Amino acid sequence: MARYFDVKRQTGFATIAIVTFVLLYLPIAILVIYAFNEGESLANWEGFSLRWFVAAANNDAVKQAAWRSLVIAAFAATFATIAATMAALATTRTRRYRGLTFKYAMINQPLMVPEIVTAVALLIVFSQVKVWTGYSGLGYLILAHTAFCIPFAYLPVRARLENMDLALESAAADLYATPWKTFRRITLPLLQPGIVAGFMLAFVISLDDVVITEFVKSGGQDTLPTYMLGQLRRVITPEVNAIATLFLALSVLIVTAFFFINRQKA
């Protein structure tokens, strides 16, 4: 009797899986462990201490960069989620027509194009705008992150819309509800888990972005990732490990919440 193909039954699967997980997570584990090192060495363990977490908490540059990262990520995720929700509604609540696949490709374009290309393009555009307007605030970073985060917010929202039962929306239309009232009373509540998941995913993507931020930011606009990159270029201490550990914990919490919200049933 023929058996279905199961990759887990293939010879060497367990070994390859273990090696893969070790290569992925061992460097992260070492980083977290040495964040609690008493000494300044990144190679010699000198005892357990919270010294570097306290140093990071008392570092004004770290606090400013962290606050700036949170502000940019919050605004960018909000704008990206709004745009993604409208795009998802426009591309799913309609009959198929010529050009719809092209629209999908354009919305997801930042996922397919190398990030460095997007960063250079935004740098060229924003450089001209800065010359014309004289403005050099955080607005450019928010716009850049918003453009890059839209497809990440779009995917869970669109997936939620495609899996929703249209019976309730059709019933509301049969009962003479206006399109706006149908959206507000029926579609939006059912779509809420997808919107929240899209916001969280966009927030995490914006929070840890380095390439686009490095190209677009002006002087004195370091985010936490670019601040850490700058510190690594100067001197490496366990304070960077402590910052990275806190950053990792925040990202894991958000991604975990995203996972559970995305699984929530209507």
Mean pLDDT value across the chain = 83
pLDDT at position 1: 47
Whole-model pTM?
0.82
Residue range 92-132, pLDDT digits in tens: 877 777 777 777 778 878 888 888 888 999 989 998 888 88
pLDDT at position 52: 87
pLDDT at position 57: 86
| Segment 94-98 long-range contacts (CB within 8 Å, at least 24 positions apart) | none
Mark the ranges of the chain whose per-residue pLDDT is less than 70: 1-8, 258, 261-266
Write down the domain spans for the chain: 59-262
pLDDT at position 171: 82
**Which residues does 247 contact at the CB level (< 8 Å), separation at least 6?**
207, 208, 224, 225, 228
**CA 73 to mean position of chain CA atoms:** 9
pLDDT at position 93: 76
Query: In the CATH scheme, what is the code of domain 59-262?
Result: 1.10.3720.10
Residue-wise burial string across 54-84, b where 16 or more C-beta atoms lie within 10 A, e elsewhere: eebeebeebebbbebbbebbebbbbbbbebb
**CA 127 to mean position of chain CA atoms:** 25
CA distances from 244 to 2, 58, 203, 224, 256 (A): 50, 16, 17, 9, 18
Residue range 184-202, pLDDT digits in tens: 888 888 888 888 888 988 9
pLDDT at position 266: 42
